[in-house]
Amino acid sequence: MSKRSLPASVSSQPAPELVTQVQVDLLQWYRTHQRDLPWRATSDPYAILVSEIMLQQTQVERVLPKYRQFLAAFPTLAALAAAPTAEVITVWAPLGYNSRAVRLQAIARQVIAEYDGHIPISIDALLQLKGIGRYTAGAIACFAYHQQVATVDTNIYRVLHRIFLGLEYPQPRITNDQMFTFAEQLLPVGEAYNWNQALMDLGATVCSSANPQCARCPLQAQCMAYSEMGQYSLFPGGAVLRQLRKVAEQKTSYETKPFTSTNRYFRGRIIDHLRSLPATQRVMLADLGPIIKTDYEAADHAWLLTLVQGLAKDGLVDFQEDGLRLP
C-alpha cells in the first residue's frame, strides 16, 4: 500500500490486515462471479474507449448489442475519425445521450491529429483529450495498458465507501476526488485490473445503490456499512438504505418531473426524427415543432429554438436559415 496519508476527512487508515482480507476475499469472489463482457476480452485501447463512453449513464444490458454494432461500423479509431458525424450519430441510436457520440468522435480526431493515431498511455496524457475525465483515463490506463492505477466510477465509489468508511447516507464521508487518493492506497500489488473490475462487478450485482444483497456479499464480515445498518431495528440491507436515501435527497414523488416533459426527452426526439431523414434533407423549425410535440403551438417557438441552438452548440445538428439536419 502507498505510504501517502489518506484524505483529512477520513479519521484513520484502515488496518493493513483488514485491507488484505478484503483484497483476498473480493478477488477470490471475482474469479468465480465475474461478468462475461466483450470489452474484457480485449486490450485494444480504442475498443475500451468506446465501451467506457457508452457505459456512461447507460446500463450494461443496453450497451452490449450497440457496442458490437458500433465497432462493426467503425472498427478502428481512424475509421471513426473519418466518418461523417451524421453517420456516427445514426449508428449510436438508441443509446441516448447523443452528445457522447460526438464527443467520442472528437476524441478520435484529436488522437489522429495530435498523437499519430495512438491513444496515450499515461493518465496525464489521457486527460489532455477533450472529454476524458479521471475515471475514463484510469479505465483506459488500467484495462487497456494494464497499469497499476486506481479508477473510480459510481460502483467503485459506493463499494469502497461502504466497506471502509460506512454508509454514504445521509452524508458521504469523502468526496469523489478524495476517493481516487483513497482507492490508490487500497490497490493490491499487481492486481489493479482484476481489483477494479471486481469492485465494479460487486457494485453492479450485489452492493447496489438502493437494494444491496448483503447476504450474498463476500465482504459482509468486513463491511462497515453492514455493521452500521445492524444498529437499526430493520434488516440490514435495502430497507435501511432506501429510508436513509430518501431523507438525504429530501425529495417526494410530486417534485419529480416526468421524463417525457424534459428538454432531454425532446432533444432526443429531434435527433431521432433527423435520423429518419435522408442525410442532406433539412427540416424547418415550424415543421419540426408539431412532429416532436403533439400540442405544439406558436408560443413554443422560442423554447424549440433554444433546444435546437443547444443541439447545434453540442455538435449534434447543423442549424442554418434553411432548417436543420444532422451534421
Active-site residue among 17, 52, 61, 114? Answer: 52
* Residue showing cell 435546437: 308
61 in catalytic set: no
What b-and-e string marks burial along 188-215, b requiring 16 or more CB atoms within 10 Å of the CB? beebbbebbbbbbbbbbebbeeeebebe
Q: At what angle do helices 301-313 and 263-275 cross, to 10 degrees?
A: 70
How many other β-carbons are positioned within 10 Å of the β-carbon of residue 324? 21
113/99 Cα distance (integer angstroms): 21
Burial of 57 (C-beta count, 10 Å sphere; 0-12/13-18/19+): exposed
Count CA atoms within 13 Å of residue 280 on its CB side. 0
Number of H helices, E strands in the chain: 16, 2
The residues assigned a catalytic role are 52
